[in-house]
Amino acid sequence: MCPQLELADQAACDANYDVAYMNSQAFHPDYDDAIRQDDLEIPVEAAEIIRRYGLTEVPYFWAKHPQAINEMEGMSRREMQHHIVNLAKRIATDPTVGLDTSDYRSYRAIRNAQIRSRR
């Protein structure tokens, strides 16, 4: 649910989220299982921001790197929104996001692909 939107804007927001959600499911076969983990606690404000802007890759990133959620501790809603949008941009454009907390196999696969692409 997108807060404070007109009905038409709400429908557009929901449609945008649904498309982004289906894309994330298609890209990550374990998407639903990952974001529905019992120990994954996404703040309500963050979930509203994700829904409003269709940033479905962010919860998947947090599922794989749960310590990253703690970065938002003490943030205002505006700061949280800025943080989440910037994180979504980094996820979309930088394949090394989260490499420092990845398992070695994932890290090595990404680094090897980066090295091959430079040749």
Q: Give the tokens for residue 29.
A: 């076969």
pLDDT at 3 over 60: no
Q: What is the pLDDT of residues 52-70, one digit of tens each?
A: 999 999 999 999 988 899 9
In a domain, 97, yes or no: no
Q: What domain range includes position 70?
A: 7-92
* Confidence at residue 34, expressed as pLDDT on a 0 to 100 scale: 93
> Hey, what amino acid is at 112?
N
In a domain, 48, yes or no: yes
Q: What is the pLDDT of residues 79-116, one digit of tens each?
A: 999 999 999 998 888 766 655 556 677 767 777 777 78
In a domain, 115, yes or no: no
What is the C-alpha to C-alpha distance for residues 19 and 25, in angstroms, rounded to an integer?
A: 10
Please indicate, yes or no, whether the overall pTM of this predicted structure exceeds 0.75.
no
Number of domains in the chain: 1
In a domain, 100, yes or no: no
Q: What is the pLDDT of residues 29-56, one digit of tens each?
A: 899 999 999 889 999 999 999 999 999 9
Render the burial of 66-89: b for 16+ CB within 10 Å, e for the rest.
Answer: eebbeebeebeeeebbebbeebbe
* Confidence at residue 15, expressed as pLDDT on a 0 to 100 scale: 85
In a domain, 62, yes or no: yes
* Confidence at residue 57, expressed as pLDDT on a 0 to 100 scale: 93
The residue written with tokens 């949280």 in the block is 80
pLDDT band with cut points at 50, 70 and 90 for residue 7? confident
In a domain, 49, yes or no: yes
What is the C-alpha to C-alpha distance for residues 94 and 72, in angstroms, rounded to an integer?
A: 21
